[in-house]
Amino acid sequence: MDLGRRLGRLAGSVVAVLTREDQFPYHDVMIHDYKDDLKNYLEETPRDVINDCILKLSRALVHSKDTKDVMEGIQKLEDSLRGEWGVLSPLQKREMLYLLAVGYYRDGDYATSLSYLDQCLEIAPQFNQALTLKKKFGSVLWFLIGGDHQYYLDMILDCERDIAEAGDDAPDEVKNENIIKLSWALVHTRQPEDVQQGIALLEAPLRKDGLNPLQLRDMLYVHALGHYYISRDFNMCGKDLCRLMEIAPDCWQGWRLYNTVFYRVDFDRVLEGIIFYAATVIVPVID
């Protein structure tokens, strides 16, 4: 049965790729969760925290497949230029300019996209995500530049630099946000060594007290996704998701992963049974 189980999982993985059943991230559920976060913030919530959430929401919006979402993301980012977000940190401004460049690029307004990209690189000349996007301009093979995998690799390099520059004296809130962002990028590369590193980064923070509920939610989600990707460890993934549902029962990202995991478990068991049955029929005939 061990061979049948392995073959069942392998077949299930192939089917998942062919049907794009587990092609995370799903931007629609990210958008829903971050909009809910913004609604639930209280008046005394620090402005930096709200700005970070708006940036997460805008990142999901401009990367959405829905044109209306992209335009909404552009509008939210443009509002920042009129001072509606209050004072931006240098990193927030860098992210904002880059996401505006992405939004306008996806909308087909290349002149405006390049303008924001130049502004981004003026204040952050080593920002890898922006440098990769700029390579698309003027390139005949623009469609070969900066695919999903490269996007995550660039994000990893940028996050590692941000963590190094923040140093050990950075506030815990900043450290935790940096860890979440880096581990998210590592896990989404789907490269085994990167996913393992992403999981490992979250182990220590998840054992500590003092995480705010949203950071704990995000860490548990990325941790669960890492176990899902790296070895189809549905048991560990399920434990993370159960804990996640206890603290954030309305988390759409968690429910989407939950449904995907349990669909795959059932599907793999069916394939395992079929393969085992086929083997019991075929082997005696061969003999």
Q: What is residue 248's predicted lDDT score, i.e. its pLDDT? A: 95
Judged by average pLDDT, the poorest of 30-34, 82-86, 171-175, 280-284 is: 280-284
Tens digits of per-residue pLDDT, 216-239?
A: 999 999 999 998 877 677 788 889
Q: Kindly provide the residue ranges of all beta strands, DSSP E only, lying in the chain, ordered along the sequence.
A: none
Mean pLDDT of all residues in 7-30? 57
Q: Is the Cβ–Cβ distance between 102 and 127 less than 8 Å?
A: no
Cis peptide before 25, with omega less than 30 degrees from 0? yes
Report the candidate in 61, 59, 39, 60 with the shortest Cα–Cα distance to residue 50: 39
Whether the predicted pLDDT of 181 surpasses 80: yes
How many Å apart are CA 11 and CA 9, to the nearest integer?
A: 5
Tokens, residue 175: 């450290």
Confidence of residue 5 (pLDDT cuts 50, 70, 90): very low
Nearest Cα to Cα of residue 38 among 71, 89, 85: 85
Which range has the worst mean pLDDT, 103-107, 203-207, 267-271?
A: 267-271
The reported pLDDT for the residue numbered 282 is 46
Say what the pLDDT of residue 2 is.
Answer: 55
